[in-house]
Structure 1
Amino acid sequence: MIRTLRQLWRSVGFRLAFYYGLLVAITMLAALAIVYMQTVGVLQQRMVRQVSASMQQLMVRYDARGADGVAGEIGYALADGRNSDNEIYLLTDREGRKLAGNLDQIPSMAPDAGDGVHRRVVRSGQSAIGYIVMKHLPDGGLLVVGHDLRDQESIESLVASASAAAGIVAVLLLIGGTFVFRQELERSVGAVRRTAARIAAGELQERVEPSGEEDEFALLEHDINAMLDRIQSLMDGVRHVSDTIAHNLRTPLTRVLVRLRAAEQGLGADDPQREAVATAIRELEELAVVFEKLLQIAEVEAGARRQQFAQVALHVIADDVAELYEAVAEMRNITLLRDPADMAFALGDRDLLAGAAANLLDNALKYAGDSATVRIGTHTVDGRAQLFVQDNGPGVPPAEFERIGVRFHRLDRSTPGHGLGLASVQAVVALHGGRLQLGDAAPGLRVCIDLPVAGD
């Protein structure tokens, strides 16, 4: 549950919808709170005014006719049928004897001078909370005027219940609106995201399908499609130029090599020019190899061979590559181990993956040093097929991990090479939707091709 909520929270659409819904809910709850406070406040003020007016009226009657006049007025007020269920009256003499009213006993002490307080009282045999004002009369008696709060509390409870119900509705609207808003945003943004993923996988012809609506997302989709058209046009132009250059250079290189080899054969063994011609031939052959690798990398990065993907047994590839390089390892006094040899299957191009594995093993044998131990292993970990090559040689500083695989970047310039081997491996792994992982083997280097298993 917590993991699901964390995944939802990572969604920008969910967070925006949540913040918007939360703002709406807070606004609604604030409005309900204002309505509640205003309603309760009006009822409270009305009650206070009624009690104060009744107290003033009774004090005027007391000034005119004394305690008997007040007792008569109280009796009339309780008998007139208007608010009789809520009115509270009590008139006592100086000894505390009840002269008139509906209170059974004098409430607990309350401040004089007309200040109203809330007290529990016993009225007509029933206990209740009331708002009362107590006034000591000049003859020593006590006058109590008040209002039963039961009806007001009922009204307040009704308003509070209505506010709570409205609050629950607001929260439900918040939750429902959040998911609806997120789904709508995902529908619009998801098409762009899925198209971008397919393009990143090499399907450069993909475009965002128009939604048919005239909104901001439709304008974004149009702009993205226009940008993709422009990018594809530029890439096609660059690819055409690079292919033309490579092929146009390959042909004259081949001709030069043929002529140099013919010239070399025509020179005598002691001819001083023979060594210069041989050196030129080697340099041109290395240049041809560079062109071939660059063309291969360009072809892989363009995704041209994706249609040839099928289930590939990585453990069989590792077996074949280990057998191929066994003689090289023995010649360099390197121990080559095939461990672990677990089965691992991935979806891909067997020739490309075999070439990538051969590149990794060739680099390990080249840089691990004499008397080193090199392992090539295969296994399946957490639903991922892995083929790795590990050695116990000098290794690579972790700071250089990010630069490994950059074209023409070489850590050891003294060792023959062109700096394109790992670049081609990177391109092959990316074509297969995998990851090239580098790690410190302590000592040595571990390079792992991590691919989705076949069927994922």
Structure 2
Amino acid sequence: MGAWRRLWASVGFRLAFQYAVLVTITMMAALAIVYLQTVGVLHQRIARQVGTTTTQMQARAEQEGLNAVVAAIGRALADGRQSDTELYGLWQPDGTRLAGNLDAPPADAASNRDGQQRALRGGSAITGYLAVRRLPGDALLVVGHDLGDQEALESLVVSASAAAGLIALLLLVGGVFVFRQELEQAVGRVRRTAGRIAEEGRLAERVDLASGDDEFAHLGQDINAMLDRIESLMEGVRHVSNTIAHELRTPLTRALLGLQAAQAPGTGDAARRDAIDRAVHELQELGTVFQKLLQIAEAEAGARRRAFAPVALHTIADDVAELYEAVADNQGAQLLREPAEEAWVDGDRDLLAGAIVNLVDNALKYGGPGCTVRLGTSMAACQAAVEVQDDGPGVPEADLARIGERFTRLQPELPGHGLGLANVRAVAALHGGSLQAEDAAPGLRMRLVLPLPPT
């Protein structure tokens, strides 16, 4: 029993077994159809023929007497048509045979019935379809047909069924070997890669992709894509950990030194309040950093996806443009709402609004005084887009790929934590979209691209 369980645990064996069962069922169904269309039809034809002949003999006996039946049997056996398969017998009540080629009445001759029975013909036992009737004067009439051809056909069907079973067994044995080899070759690459990653922790390992376009090739591609994503996330975690340690050490140190200065003996009230205010400000800034990190983590985890609903991006862009119009005027910049096409997506309105705010705020900050910022919405055949473009100094080509990384600040002299565009990128990924940075020559163009809702 244990060996059978181990054998059944093999996917190759199960596939081969199921394939063999399927082939066996198919063959048996085909043989059953052949049997019904040959043996069954032949049996029905024999039954009709025997029944018709029996009725005719009975009518002849009633109208013309037994001598007419004897003559009819003689003509039937002498006409050369099916003489080797036709069975006839006519006996008087005392058992004397009057006509026919049967040596003796069948064993079950006491009742009038039609069916398959054993009989003697020429000293040999045969199987035939026999109709037994009592004629006037209590004579016994037997009319039948030799079933030797039908038995040969049935034997052929049995032999074919046995051959089908043998083929199924061979398919099972051969299929186990072939399927296991094929599965081991395909799955082995995945198992070996997973084993190296588990034992050595090398996330750079990838599944060797086989040639072809089958399911296992697609599985390998999906696993490699998953490993790319995991490696990217782990690299992001390491980067974030290092950056947090670096970014937080300085403000924490300043807050600690300020509080220690406030505790020092002889510190005046004004100096103490000033030191405490600076420490509070530093801690508030740290709280802001952690809040933004939590927002990014929440977006990446997909926790807000359950609240998705139809969202009008153009309406959000209108509200953001109205909100930041005064900010732009204050720094001598110009905020234009163009193009203002309708754009609908399925998503979280608050997250998308925050993402557009970050894009506009980033453009005004890095575009500089006097810049022109354009906030546009559009909808193409398969995607909606929010585009924010400034005509400021722009970003060097080499740094475009770094935009959106956590704590990336291309101009450290400007205020901020380098988390705004990272938040936008996380929101885009949550909605199945992307954040694209392009050189606007002059300035920078940021595009938040999102998929359209399903129709």
User: Given the two structures, how large is their TM-score scaled by the length of structure 2?
Assistant: 0.49
User: Given the two structures, how large is their TM-score scaled by the length of structure 1?
Assistant: 0.49
